[in-house]
Amino acid sequence: MDNNRVYIFDTTLRDGEQSPGASMNVEEKVVVAKQLAKLGVDIIEAGFAFSSPGDFEAIKRIAEEVEGPVVCSLARAKPADIDSAYGALKAAKKPRIHTFISTSDIHLKHQFRMTRDEALKCAVDMVERASGYVTDVEFSPMDASRSEPNYLYEVIEAVIRAGATTINIPDTVGYSLPHLFGRLIKGIKENVPNIDKAIISVHCHNDLGLAVANSLSAVINGARQVECTVNGIGERAGNASLEEIAMIIKTRADELGLTTGINTEQIFPASRLISSITGMKVQANKAIVGDNAFAHESGIHQDGLLKEKTTYEIMSPESVGIAASTLVLGKHSGRHAFRERLKELGYELSDDDLNKAFERFKRLADKKKVVFDEDLEALVQDEVLRPDIAEKYVLKSLQANGGTESLPRAEVELFVDGIPVKESGEGDGPVDAAFKVVARITGTGSELLRYAVNAITEGTDAQGEVSVRLKENDYIVIGQGAHTDIIVASVRAYINALNKLEYRKVLKKEGLIEKKGKVVL
């Protein structure tokens, strides 16, 4: 084993997907996993098999279809979880089961209601059970950074004896500090006699903005796997950001002497893919992938750059996959060029889906002078990956008008379970009018929590991307839609969200939703 190699364990599809509003459907997860494989991550945590039928199915599909990385499922330290993880991973060439239980007194007392001895026994039993299925077993002592060190050492030693090959140390609540977290890893290396039989991994949350710094400190002290997510998405303030970890290791190889297997030119496409699929925008000043990460505004900096790039640029935009120009296709582009460009953006579509997307592209290219990558991404999202899941409601036609002189009105025709229903009405602006009509046709009792519009590219002919957040009986869904006509984009987003709520009702009726209510749409 190369001792300077840091393994990248991507948990975008598991912890990342736990970000509020970031849920992805199975098809979207497969697309993301394929891009992660291109990016060169070593391990893909594809989900938490036992948590929902959607997660199980996504892990299974990724295990069957994605070549290269190890495919992993999370499992609580419970027999049914471990069995379900293996059930989903069976087809993977390189399967890993990742099981966890808390080791901090705070969690054991209040959440798990277990003694330390009980938790230790449970961890050992479940690692043994997982080892009966696969040779690659990861164990996480959850809330490790707030656990009593001697007990933590004891648990780690025992689970390694039971078959764990990776020991992941989570800073579950993002409480640690770089020097303390580094010291914790050093302590584990010095006090766990059989630690040389396992790889030490870290999993840091960003509650205090220290996830990357804590992970780096761990690596400096001997950890050789980092758990991270694209764009740093994840529970609460998120996880350590994959792109930052990878580019720190690459850019400061002089100081750190470490490497990863990340193909850094795939970083930006991966970031864009995740952002457009989840609807979670990347902040402009985000390191590596933010809009401003390579934008030099100051005259002095610009002057320096023109003379010599290294004056103000520690890494090039090209090295993270930001192309000089994102202008790609126009109305004369053919199907072949279209397919190739989508492939470069991480989308490999079936012939049917490609035909649907190409037709839509042609219509778009007729309206817009130039079609940017962002337009293509939105188009594939809207037309292919985010189909109206249950197809209960489908938009047939829409007419809306507003302006300063007339009362805003909308006429909407929907297919409801295949039957056309047309209604019209007024509102406070054309979007409001259209939403009121859709609400009347569908009889929805949902509450609109958020409505957001974003121009995908520049210019008044840009496509608008609309995201709506709906709540019904404590369940929240996000709907998205894109179109050059903002009212159409809005209604598509609204219908997409309503269909997700309907889909959930179907799953509930069929008993496919777990008690805790998680379902992946």
**Interface pattern 61-100 for ligand KIV (x via CB under 6 A):** ---------------------------------------x
Q: Is position 172 an interface residue for ligand KIV (rule: CB under 6 A)?
A: yes
140 touching ligand KIV, by CB under 6 A:
yes
Distance CA 254, CA 504 (A): 52
- 170 is an interface residue for ligand KIV by CB under 6 A: yes
Q: Which of 72, 137, 142, 246 binds ligand KIV (CB under 6 A)?
A: 142
Please say whether the beta carbons of 137 and 130 come within 8 A: yes
- Enter the tokens of residue 289: 């992938």
| Radius of gyration of the chain, Cα coordinates, nearest whole angstrom | 24
262 binds ligand KIV (CB under 6 A): no
Site stretch for Zn ion (CB under 5 A), options 10-18, 257-265, 477-485, 498-506: 10-18
> C-beta of 7: minimal distance to Zn ion in Å?
17
Cβ nearer to ligand KIV, comparing 142 with 288: 142
Q: Is 48 a binder of ligand KIV (CB under 6 A)? A: no
Q: How far is CA 149 from the centre of its chain?
A: 32
Contact call for residue 446 and ligand KIV (CB under 6 A): no
Q: If binding means CB under 6 A, how many residues of this protein chain bind ligand KIV?
A: 9
Q: How far apart are CA 179 and CA 366, in angstroms?
A: 57
Span 314-343, contacts to Zn ion by CB under 5 A: none
- State the nearest-atom distance from the C-beta of 38 to ligand KIV, in Å: 25
Contact 379, 360 (CB under 8 A): yes
55 in contact with Zn ion (CB under 5 A): no
- State the binding partner of 100 from ligand KIV, Zn ion, none, CB within 5 to 8 A by kind: ligand KIV
d(CA 490, CA 494): 6
Contacting residues for 74 by C-beta, under 8 A, at least 6 apart: 14, 45, 47, 48, 49, 85, 98, 99, 100
* Among the listed residues 8, 9, 15, 412, the single contact to ligand KIV using CB under 6 A: 15
Residues 70-101 as b or e (16 or more Cβ within 10 Å = b): bbbbbbbbbeebbbbbbebbeebebbbbbbbb
Q: Nearest residue to Zn ion, using CB?
A: 15
Closest by CA position to 223, among listed 264, 266, 256, 247: 256
Query: Can residue 203 be called a binding residue for ligand KIV (CB under 6 A)?
Result: yes
Q: Which of 13, 14, 15, 470 binds Zn ion (CB under 5 A)?
A: 15
In the complex, the smallest distance separating the C-beta of residue 145 from ligand KIV, rounded to whole angstroms, is 9
Cα(520)–Cα(50) distance, integer angstroms:
12
Cβ neighbours of residue 135 closer than 8 Å, sequence gap 6 or more: 165
Query: What are the residues binding ligand KIV (CB under 6 A)?
Result: 15, 100, 140, 142, 168, 170, 172, 203, 205
Query: What are the residues binding Zn ion (CB under 5 A)?
Result: 15
